[in-house]
Structure 1
Amino acid sequence: MNYVLALFLPPLSILLLGRVFLSIIVFLIWVPAIIFSGGLTHPMFIVLAWILIYQNHADKRERS
């Protein structure tokens, strides 16, 4: 069960930021990368999600 959640975590976090197109692209790259590399690209997508989250918060602070 935890593996399934980890499988969808980076695309889901990007989707929750409201970036639907980017989350679909990440999902399409993410799943084969997990299957073929055994998770070696995992940190790259986690960093991408964190950058987008930080950028979203920075945008909100800038508007205020």
Structure 2
Amino acid sequence: MLRIVVKEGENIDRALKRYKRKFRNVKVLQELRERKQYTKPSVTRRAQIQKAAYKEQLFTEE
């Protein structure tokens, strides 16, 4: 559970921004989306290999 301590005199918008940043960094939403459906380990591995190959291609073109 995320906790944000709002300091005295702190703007509520700034505290909300800190909460959103913490929520994004914890990757809760990303994990929920991944768990919606099952993906086989081989499919996950294949996607990682394709992503790495794509990144490598981008770096070699420069």
Rg (Cα) greater in structure:
2
Whether TM-score is above 0.5 comes out as no
Identify the structure with the greater helix proportion. 1
**TM range, normalised to the smaller chain?**
0.3 to 0.5
